[in-house]
Amino acid sequence: MLQFAPAIVRDLDVVEFPRPILTCRLHDSWDFLKLKVPRRDGDQVAGPSRDGVDVTIEGQIGSLSGELKLSEAEMLSAVEELRAALHVADEEGFALALFQDDEGGRRYFQQCLTTRFDVDFSNPRIYSYAASIHASDPVLYGG
């Protein structure tokens, strides 16, 4: 059974996004008029091609089923772990897994880079966050 479980995957390291996840949006786009590298035999300077995918994940740290579960220090630690996982020091990036099945297989995007990460510290009982991630490869892989 497939389950929504967003996570950042690098080699064998997996960092799940803190729950609850309030929003997960995918933004697909296609370009039509740009000059392009030929994608098939022959010249092609115009026509539709799929751009990368932008994914926005918004969630909260500190509650589970409406009950507070973490102290402020534990919430800050969770923010620091997520920030470190989202940081990309090389061009390779990371995989963004969105779904996981019972056998441990994942549905994921490859070649991901973080474009923005916002955290709202104004409520000491619950921290809200939003991560914007760009996947250069628009294919949702399975396996």
**How far is it, in rounded angstroms, from Cα 109 to Cα 94?**
9
Contact status, residue 64 vs residue 86, Cβ threshold 8 Å: no
* Gap between the terminal Cα atoms of the chain: 13
Task: State the residue for tokens 């609850």.
Answer: 20
- What structural domains does the chain harbor? 3-142 (2.40.30.200)
Share of the chain above pLDDT 90, in %: 59
Residues 72-108 pLDDT 10s: 889 999 999 999 999 988 777 999 999 999 888 899 9
pLDDT at 49 over 80: no
Omega cis (within 30) before 6? no
**How far is it, in rounded angstroms, from Cα 112 to Cα 115?**
9
Q: Is the pTM of this model over 0.75?
A: yes
Residues 119-134 pLDDT 10s: 999 988 899 999 999 9
C-alpha separations of 37 from 18, 42, 60, 89, 136 in Å:
40, 10, 42, 28, 16
